[in-house]
Structure 1
């Protein structure tokens, strides 16, 4: 996608065949099961299925040209690696020009194998970048909990706790230190599930430089 021109509603003439646009989106949604590199683009384009415009169709054809030019891209699963859950969390604050909602993104690795990823627009407007990052952390912590239950059900031995990497200092401080909660009462209660699971030692929350933030690809066009 083009970084400098974010898509929004009614940005050009309506597309003459909305059904074709919806069919292409449906195919891209299935393809994200093996191509995480198009997750963000598909998430962005799927917002306009009701009333797609010419610019939206041009953007989706750009994704199709990218796929045609990179048929060898995919997921690689090594035969031997450390069996430990590792996750990367990121968000892009107020990225939607129509609603000013933020985008959450995460990716989960089992050892060196990518096993789960998501790019999703948040349900409410965040009043700060810290809140947006913290909501993304809450979403990722739920995924870690689910993957942990799954491995236990399959009786797969793995290293605990999981490791979560977040490039937001404020989000990590809020999750680790209850003193910060007085400044963040506007954050919904369910977001504090991240702190509860951190205290229960489900995962370790570690810093990472933005340059090495793998989840960046799920929150913005790169």
Structure 2
């Protein structure tokens, strides 16, 4: 906590002023977190002073919100290219990232706990963003993107958190996920240069070769790069008390067809919603549970005991091999192929079709999805369309 206050003071995050008439400052509090390594051991203890941004009012003390979150498909694509091209890939962590953003709105906050003032009715006028402010992530991203663009990087339109710099045959790629940065490319000089520039402006922590990112474990081998979420998966099984359960060979029984049945409703639906939410995050590296998770996510509003049993079946499938994941071969070519399929009127509740697709970069699976179609296609309409297409 002392270290955090020193950083806030050096950063000139606020100035202590008299509270303006009619202004109610937002509150703040301390949040404590234990950062762990992939093996579960303690890496460091963190203390953060956070503002209670949920009390802010739009149009009064914040205008817009945005968080730089790179898409999972973009991460997989970049890692697949890195494996094929045998590029080095490094991870950077920005120290106190949200404290670097400059505020354009007037935001007042109460004095932090255990800090008092000799004058009554005083508060903190925030000059720079603070954790949990509604606009803090947007202001940090604005400052970072402005710096990267000034260094010659271009922001991609398909993913605003992906920055690319190409000069002749030299390529540099930078991914941003809030305050975590992945850096790769074929120019060692450019990687060293951008690291130095980022450190001058923000003070970064160079974590060297990418090994652990967003609960994703990255292993580098001579023939491939492997990705898994083993620790996340084991923690999920432990929290669900299913570490000793009998493993299942498939993520969902082929005879099971979920619908809004008449079985008893769950007494605590939050357990189901929390479980399905964590399964949705697991689909980042587990494409084979995507269909089952898509089916389960349709009944978040009123889950029943039968839905919960199917969710537990998926957990039993995870138990069969928690370390399963994706493999990006180094002996591949940049060739994209796609597979898709549809299940006509597959949803028993709405009679809508289910569509699924997946994209491969040669041997590497980089993107997939299962979703319910937004419209209903009737068989008679499809027949007329086919007849019209044949005649024309």
1:70 to 321, 332, 335: 321
Shift of 1:118: 0.3
Query: Against the structure 1 CA distance between its residues 105 and 16, is the aligned structure 2 distance closer, same or farther, given a 3 Å change threshold?
Result: same
Looking at structure 2, the residues matched to 49 and 86 of structure 1 have their Cα atoms a distance apart, in angstroms, of: 34
1:16 matches 2:267: yes
Does structure 2 retain, via aligned residues, the 8 Å contact 1:93–1:129? no
Looking at structure 2, the residues matched to 121 and 76 of structure 1 have their Cα atoms a distance apart, in angstroms, of: 28
Map 1:153-168 onto structure 2 (within 5 A). Answer: none
Runs of 4+ in 1 over 6 A off after TM superposition: none
Match of 1:2 in 2: 253
Deviations 1:116-138 (A, max 9, x none): 0000011111213995xxxxxxx
Looking at structure 2, the residues matched to 71 and 130 of structure 1 have their Cα atoms a distance apart, in angstroms, of: 45
Match of 1:55 in 2: 306
Name structure 1 gaps, 5 residues minimum. 132-169, 184-222
Q: Structure 2 length normalisation: TM-score?
A: 0.34
Query: Against the structure 1 CA distance between its residues 47 and 182, is the aligned structure 2 distance closer, same or farther, given a 3 Å change threshold?
Result: farther
Higher relative contact order (CA closer than 8 Å, sequence separation 6+): 1
Query: Against the structure 1 CA distance between its residues 181 and 6, is the aligned structure 2 distance closer, same or farther, given a 3 Å change threshold?
Result: same
Match of 1:180 in 2: 389
Equivalent pairs counted in the alignment come to 140
Higher helix share: 1
Does structure 2 retain, via aligned residues, the 8 Å contact 1:93–1:128? no
SS in 2 for 1:82: coil
Q: Structure 1 length normalisation: TM-score?
A: 0.58
Query: Against the structure 1 CA distance between its residues 4 and 11, is the aligned structure 2 distance closer, same or farther, given a 3 Å change threshold?
Result: farther
1:107 matches 2:316: no
SS in 2 for 1:76: strand
2:277 to 8, 14, 26: 26
Looking at structure 1, the residues matched to 326 and 391 of structure 2 have their Cα atoms a distance apart, in angstroms, of: 43
1:96 matches 2:351: no
Map 1:133-148 onto structure 2 (within 5 A). Answer: none
Higher strand share: 2
RMSD of equivalent CA atoms: 2.5
Structure with bigger gyration radius: 2
1:120 matches 2:371: yes
Deviations 1:2-30 (A, max 9, x none): 22231111331101110000000110010
Looking at structure 2, the residues matched to 59 and 46 of structure 1 have their Cα atoms a distance apart, in angstroms, of: 12
Query: Against the structure 1 CA distance between its residues 129 and 68, is the aligned structure 2 distance closer, same or farther, given a 3 Å change threshold?
Result: farther
